[in-house]
Amino acid sequence: MTTGVMLERVATEMPAPVETAETASTAVAVQARAAVEARYKMALMRPRSWDEVRVRLLAACKRPGFAETARYAKPVGGKSIEGPSIRFAEEALRAMGNAYVETMVVFDDDERRIVRVTVTDLEANLSYPHDITLRKTVERRRLKDGQRSLGERVNSYGDTVYLVEATEDDLLTKQAAHVSKVIRTAALRLLPSDILEEAMEQVLDTVRNRDAKDPDAARKKVCDAFYAIGVSPSDLTTYLGHPLEQTSPAELQLLRTIYTAIKEGEATWAEAAAQREEATGRRASDAPKAGAAGLKDRLSQKVGEQRTTPPAADGAPAA
């Protein structure tokens, strides 16, 4: 076999050159730059109209199903703070358009994960970045076989809860909740305040009008929603301080905002009940009973008050 044939054979049997890491990173950088340029070009070609944004957002707020979830309320420092919900912020981003939301994991080890969330207005070239630090732990009421507790505390119900290592599913759920809150905060910064206030007023009007048409159906729907997350009608009765049949439209709206806060991970029912108890000074044992038992208690209380009330004097006391 000649030398030329041998060299040709070796050349054909050699594997193809492997793409270096530098070449791959360069290609990724070029691709990312092209994507960013395309977003800004499309934003400049199709600029938003704030009048159009307003009309779209108000139209969404006129839908009863959306209006019920557009506001939330969470207990903070003994008070209840209300505001636009995550669902409302997502609808606002859709109405505005030309906004880019980016989520990136910038650090990850066995104990924590750091996620960077950035919301950018492509027309104004305005970005709101925020880093979220997630501890890879969750709280559980009981330990599974072989599960190790990293710590414990007593919650608002007086029960002991344990701090355990989070599974990947637990961590993803925790991450999604925190990311949604950051996106809401940044999205509301992009929306003009006058449009936001008008939209919130429309949300309240939509809910009030729907409740006025069929208050019983609205009350039952709220009860069903809370029952699905583990809050019974008796818990709602305790919270309100009167039977559910006497629930006012304002109280129905308050319950909806609390439900939205619980669903979005902003608060828990225990926190809401504790805040209500602190504000009213009423405990669970003081809650009025419903039906015949409640009527009997109220009558007994009224009779007791009449017996303890001294009779009025007929005239002035003798000197």
* Contacts by 110-118, CB closer than 8 A, 24 or more apart: 110/136, 111/135, 111/136, 112/136, 113/171, 113/175, 115/175, 115/178, 115/179, 117/179, 117/182, 117/183, 117/186
| pLDDT at residue 115, rounded to an integer | 95
Residue 188 lies in a domain: yes
Tokens at residue 75, please? 């207990």
Q: Which regions of the chain are under pLDDT 50?
A: 7, 10, 283-293, 295, 298, 302-304, 308, 312-319
Rounded Cα gap, residues 86 and 88, in angstroms? 5
* Contacts by 201-206, CB closer than 8 A, 24 or more apart: 202/58, 202/61, 202/62, 202/67, 203/61, 203/67, 203/70, 203/71, 203/88, 204/71, 204/253, 206/61, 206/62, 206/63, 206/64, 206/67
Query: Strands 71-76 and 79-84, how do they pair?
Result: antiparallel
- Torsion, Cα 167 230 73 88, to 10 degrees, reads 70
Q: Does the global pTM surpass 0.75?
A: no
Rounded Cα gap, residues 136 and 171, in angstroms? 6
Residue 310 lies in a domain: no
Positive or negative, the CA dihedral 192, 198, 203, 206 is: negative
Q: Tokens 């009167």 belong to which residue?
A: 242
Residue 134 lies in a domain: yes
Residue 307 lies in a domain: no
Rounded Cα gap, residues 137 and 165, in angstroms? 5
Residue 87 lies in a domain: yes
Average pLDDT over the chain, rounded to an integer: 82
CB 90 within 8 A of CB 69: no
| pLDDT at residue 253, rounded to an integer | 87
Rounded Cα gap, residues 213 and 150, in angstroms? 52
| pLDDT at residue 160, rounded to an integer | 84
Domain that includes residue 279, residue range: 34-287
Rounded Cα gap, residues 277 and 315, in angstroms? 45
How many domains is the chain built from?
1
CB 66 within 8 A of CB 56: no
Give the ranges where the chain is alpha helix by DSSP (H).
Answer: 3-13, 21-45, 50-61, 64-67, 86-96, 168-190, 193-213, 215-228, 233-240, 249-263, 269-280, 291-308
Tokens at residue 165, please? 């290592």
Phi, psi dihedrals of residue 131, rounded to the nearest 5°:
-100, 135
Partners of 139 in the β-ladder: 163
Tokens at residue 145, please? 């076989």
Residue 153 lies in a domain: yes
| pLDDT at residue 176, rounded to an integer | 92
Q: Interior CA angle at 191 toward 187 and 193, to 5°?
A: 130
pLDDT tens, residue by residue, 255-278: 999 988 888 888 888 888 888 887
